[in-house]
Chains A and B, each alone.
Chain A
Amino acid sequence: MRMPLALVPAVAAGLAVVGLAGAALAHGPTPQKIDQSITIQAPPDAVWKVVGDFGGIGRWHPDVAKAEASGGNVEGTTRRVTLKAGGTLVEGLDEWLADGRTYSYRMSDPDLKALPVSSYSATLTVTPDGTGSKVSWIGRFYRGDTGNEPPENLSDEAGRTAMNRYFADGLKGLKAAVEGRTTH
């Protein structure tokens, strides 16, 4: 029942774009949730000063070997985050609001070695909590292999485990960095 390509002139133009879009950015059909938070004994402004710099994640995330940003804390800035365990996360800043002490970003290119997921977006927010602060880090992602029979290392479960560990390690590292303890 497949239609001969010759009958659909426009399809050639469509195919030309396919290579650029890249199937690797594909979203699978089952999104997964990450929802983590931590309380820190420091005022929100002090926490935001550390965590709010999009390109400065290497200063508080213990799993990060180095990070560099293409620009300042403005929409469109990209950061390249190289992990100690290997792999590089390329992430684009979508929104950065100093007033709300929050920023949102999303994965630009997948690197299954860094995190076994095909795409994600996340938001980090600092809010007052008693005399201290609460940092929430939430996100949505899709497993590494979005087909119907993913291998175990690219399944929903593998993605959840890796993402939850990465977020939890980060929040613990942030707490230690702000409260003045070493993470090493």
Chain B
Amino acid sequence: MRHLRLIATLALAAATGTGGASASADPVWVVSQQGAELARIEAGTVAGRIPLGPAPVAAATDRAGRLYLTHPDGRAVTVVEPGKPPRRLPVPGQVFGLAASPDGAHLFVGDWSGDRVLRISAATGAIEGTAAVGHEPAHLVLDRRGRLYVADRESRQVSVIDTGTMTRVAVVPTGEAPFALALAPDEASLYVANVRSGDLTVIDTATLRARATVPAGRMPYGVAVTGDGSRILVTNQHAAAVTVIDAARLEIVATVAVGPYPEGIAVVGPRAYVANWFSDDVSVIDLATWRETARIKVAEGPRTVLAPGEPAR
């Protein structure tokens, strides 16, 4: 028994490596919901696998390279720390979207059917505060000054939360069924992917108003921004494609074919990684040519891709 535990711990250490952004060329984490697995992709191949509790969906990371994952049907968050077995934190709610404070002290989780966001202690799981938001909070993202943006999917809006006081400071109308969020690298703009209206709302984070809403393809389900902020990448779940939007002109400048029902997307250096939910693989997109260059097989139902050092998506 003791032996087994030691082996499990070593295996995890090997799978997670040193964690943080400096770990290697292109470490990317992929969360598979049905397969209940976290895969680490390195150098174009799955370099490690961590089994998780049932049906994980969203993920976030902190500066130390810890990973946090939500289990909406299991009322829990899993904490994955390099060199330690995964830790389960019970959370009272249908937890879906997730963000972590950079120091890993606090987690922010959306309660899908409870129309609220919880701030919990990552160490103990204790609830530190709650804030009411709109109906069916989907993904959420935290900026560097501690503001939390929440896509209120069935309220057609983004709620903006001051995480210090856990109060809502603004509500910004969006397109229909906002789901995924991404901040520009300079955090001046927040990009909101609207599933049903097939567009992208651009929110000015200084004025907290929508600056534009522009076409983004069929059923936008994931959004990411290139490192230089010049391109916005939107997965089109119902078109097996990623639309590439020029951030200055806010126009679609390329469409990249990927696998069926793409969802989560992350940019790491010169590549983007896309979770193809239906075909159980990850598309690798070369950002210089805007072409899919590889498919990497992962466990069933991949929905989230996470680059170390980036906030929740």
Residues of chain A whose beta carbon lies under 8 Å from any beta carbon of chain B: 1-3, 7-8, 10-11, 13-15, 17-18, 21-23, 25-31, 33, 35, 94-95, 104, 106, 121, 123, 138, 140, 146-148
A106–B113 alpha-carbon span in the complex (Å): 23
Task: Determine how close the nearest CB of chain B comes to the CB of A143; give it in whole angstroms.
Answer: 10
Residue of A at shortest CB range from B208? A10
Docked-complex contact A33 and B73, CB < 8 angstroms: no
Docked-complex contact A30 and B166, CB < 8 angstroms: no
Task: Determine how close the nearest CB of chain B comes to the CB of A182; give it in whole angstroms.
Answer: 34
Docked-complex contact B219 and A17, CB < 8 angstroms: no
Instruction: Determine which of A3, A14, A30, A95 lies in contact with B131 in the assembled complex, contact meaning CB atoms within 8 Å.
Output: A3
Docked-complex contact A94 and B113, CB < 8 angstroms: no
Docked-complex contact A10 and B75, CB < 8 angstroms: no
Instruction: Determine which of B72, B166, B238 lies in contact with A121 in the assembled complex, contact meaning CB atoms within 8 Å.
Output: B238
A155–B241 alpha-carbon span in the complex (Å): 30
Q: Is B16 an interface residue (CB 8 A)?
A: no
A146–B277 alpha-carbon span in the complex (Å): 19
Docked-complex contact A138 and B260, CB < 8 angstroms: yes
Which residues on B sit within 8 Å (CB–CB) of A138? 260, 278
Describe A's contact surface by its main secondary structure.
Answer: mixed
Docked-complex contact A29 and B94, CB < 8 angstroms: yes
A14–B112 alpha-carbon span in the complex (Å): 17
Which residues on A sit within 8 Å (CB–CB) of B96? 29
Task: Determine how close the nearest CB of chain B comes to the CB of A54; give it in whole angstroms.
Answer: 15
Residue of A at shortest CB range from B173? A13
Docked-complex contact B134 and A33, CB < 8 angstroms: no
Task: Determine how close the nearest CB of chain B comes to the CB of A9; give it in whole angstroms.
Answer: 9
Docked-complex contact B130 and A14, CB < 8 angstroms: no
Docked-complex contact B112 and A17, CB < 8 angstroms: no
Task: Determine how close the nearest CB of chain B comes to the CB of A150; give it in whole angstroms.
Answer: 10
Docked-complex contact B278 and A30, CB < 8 angstroms: no
Which stretch (B7-15, B154-162, B248-256, B266-274) binds chain A? B154-162
Task: Determine how close the nearest CB of chain B comes to the CB of A110; give it in whole angstroms.
Answer: 13
Bits for B76-92, please: 1 = Cβ < 8 Å to A, else 0: 00000000000000000
Which residues on A sit within 8 Å (CB–CB) of B129? 1
Which residues on A sit within 8 Å (CB–CB) of B301? 31, 33
